[in-house]
Structure 1
Amino acid sequence: MDKVSAVTGRIILVPFSPRVAPGLLSAAAWKAVTGAGARVHAGSAEHPILEYLDDQDVEIELIEGETAEVADELLKEAAAGETVVWLADPSGEDQPLVLALGERLTGGSADEAEIELELTPGSYDVPGARLLDLVAVMDRLRSPGGCPWDAQQTHRSLVKFLLEEAYETVETIEDGDPDTPGEGRDALREELGDVLLQVAFHSRIAREHPEDPFDIDDVAQGIVTKLINRHPHVFADVAAGTAADVEANWEQIKAAEKGRTSVVEGVPLNQPALSLAEKLLKRSKNAGMDVTIPLLPQTLRAPADNSDADAQAQVGALLMAVVGLARELGVDPEAALRAEARRLRDEILNQEASRSSGKCG
């Protein structure tokens, strides 16, 4: 590289987020690009920002070639006292140029020691922008030339993985310490990523349907609409002063949205039996029904006499005793409770039928 007298110059690197629409430029980057006397460079005429800068009469000089050649040219201009602006490729392909400039400036000549190297982001990721990376990776895996295993998967084949990832997340929350920085919190972040992958995977498969495709944007829009509609106390003028009020509103809105005629509609029967039984009991209570519930043994203390910890321990011990008895009798406790939950569902349906027919008793 030709040597010139040592003077102060600047090289301003302007990186762009690949997840932000072209044409958006931060205030600091705009000031650098349009500054008096600034020499603005890019490595390719295909840089997405160029057409927008052209509209603003910003003169762009292309410097194409090997990394070393480009680095030498930028340093030469800066050493001559110029303010040099380099528009980095959003793809990150010119990352080697950044490294080359850094190496030259930290171990170069006295001329180069006078050059300032600055980083001025041209655009910033918005919250959630990294989700676009996940979508792009999933597209690559499912596309021709991607992963054969991923390409073979269907909604049905992925069901077991969806359940496994959900259970692993629950286990991580219960066994770790997700609220304290460290292994537990790191594990939770990883498990949530695994759950998110399942959503992205199913959405990518759904996009390929020949007659009724939908993608992850449709999935996101659907849940956004649902959340807004079911939180009128936040997005509208409905009053809900307590969590119980919120839950009641939610159930009413949900029933209206789904057009449900029974309180048991929408309760998946293939969920774990304990949660199924709890959901059915909750639905029946909210509907004002008096359903049959097996009596607790007389030796149990009334819940009011127990602290929260004692109550949980008592219930836990009772459930464990039931499981032990089931093993002695050769009964599957999950299947037994599921059968009882189904009986409860049928009783609720019968009561609803009686109400609709005007019968009493």
Structure 2
Amino acid sequence: MTSNLSDKTPAALTRLLTIMERLRAPGGCPWDAEQTPESLKPYIIEEAYEVVEAIDREDVEDLRDELGDLLLQVVFLARIHEERKNFAMADVIGAIADKLVRRHPHVFAGMPTGDAKMLADQWDAIKRSEKPEKNSEHPLERLPRQLPALQKAGKLAKKTGFNDATGGFTAFLEQAERDLKAVGQSLTGDDREQAREHLGGLLFTLAGLAAALDQDAEDILRVHNQRVLSHHIKQVTK
């Protein structure tokens, strides 16, 4: 098997791990030393979104830097848990490597390759076998609780079949029209709480439509927000 891995990768990773160890050690950086997994949570989310923004801008140089910032959070967490004698960075890397091999038997174990749906079902089946204690949970309970709402709505739509567009997209448009009408009726009656509930239904319907189009509603809205922001900035700076 040929590899495009740079010969510099192991040394670069070792250097980063050594720097983090020094920062956390006595005589290092007080701020780094006092961080905990809980205190790092907002930085992890922020850095992940900055990676996404760099991808949207197609800014390769910035993407490289943002990926480094995100990698720092992984190294940071691994170092904290190594100090607690839970696991180290090598365990993190080994675990994901093992998982990729295990979940791709059609690549690494000589099993036949099927279509995309078969491979997705195979992935899910292997995933369930890895943690049988979670098999008693309803599949919907396995969705991460901290997912952005629109993204979670899209995943819920897929798992509940609400993204089924075999009969076309008319059903989605009709449901969205009903939801929007219900919002209007609630506002006419000055019932803002009910309007809020119907607005939630409208957003879920639109997330389902996005899922039916194999799109992510969260991504669609994020890109549109950036367009609005850029347009507004151009208008006020003329």
Corresponding residue of 1:278: 154
Mapped partners of 1:281, 1:336: distance in 2 = 14
Residue 158 (structure 1) aligned with residue 40 (structure 2): yes
Residues 225 and 190 of structure 1, relative CA distance in 2, 3 Å threshold:
same
Q: CA deviation at 1:162?
A: 0.1
Residue 203 (structure 1) aligned with residue 78 (structure 2): yes
TM-score normalised by length of structure 2 = 0.65
Q: Name structure 1 gaps, 5 residues minimum.
A: 1-123, 178-183, 286-294, 302-317, 342-361
Residue 140 (structure 1) aligned with residue 13 (structure 2): no
Q: Aligned runs of 1:152-191 on 2, under 5 Å?
A: 152-174=34-56, 176-177=57-58, 184-191=59-66
Aligned length: 179
Deviations 1:85-107 (CA, angstroms, capped at 9, x unpaired): xxxxxxxxxxxxxxxxxxxxxxx
More strand by share: 1
Q: CA deviation at 1:274?
A: 1.3
Larger radius of gyration: 1
Mapped partners of 1:214, 1:247: distance in 2 = 30
Mapped partners of 1:201, 1:264: distance in 2 = 31
Residues 243 and 299 of structure 1, relative CA distance in 2, 3 Å threshold:
closer
Deviations 1:9-47 (CA, angstroms, capped at 9, x unpaired): xxxxxxxxxxxxxxxxxxxxxxxxxxxxxxxxxxxxxxx
Mapped partners of 1:224, 1:160: distance in 2 = 27
Mapped partners of 1:198, 1:128: distance in 2 = 18
Deviations 1:223-257 (CA, angstroms, capped at 9, x unpaired): 11111100001100222233332222111110111
Mapped partners of 2:158, 2:149: distance in 1 = 14
Q: CA deviation at 1:336?
A: 4.0
Mapped partners of 1:141, 1:203: distance in 2 = 14
Q: Name structure 2 gaps, 5 residues minimum.
A: 1-5, 162-170, 206-238
Mapped partners of 1:298, 1:282: distance in 2 = 19
Residue 266 (structure 1) aligned with residue 139 (structure 2): no
Q: CA deviation at 1:208?
A: 1.3
Q: CA deviation at 1:263?
A: 1.2
Residues 244 and 145 of structure 1, relative CA distance in 2, 3 Å threshold:
same
Mapped partners of 2:64, 2:15: distance in 1 = 17
Mapped partners of 2:151, 2:50: distance in 1 = 17
TM-score normalised by length of structure 1 = 0.44
Q: Report SS of the residue matched to 2:99.
A: helix
Q: Report SS of the residue matched to 1:158.
A: helix
Deviations 1:188-239 (CA, angstroms, capped at 9, x unpaired): 0011001100000000000111xx5211001111111111100001100222
Residue 257 (structure 1) aligned with residue 130 (structure 2): yes
Does the Cα contact within 8 Å between 1:169 and 1:192 map onto a contact in 2? Answer: yes
CA RMSD in angstroms, aligned pairs only: 3.5
Residues 271 and 128 of structure 1, relative CA distance in 2, 3 Å threshold:
same
Mapped partners of 1:201, 1:299: distance in 2 = 46
Q: CA deviation at 1:300?
A: 7.5
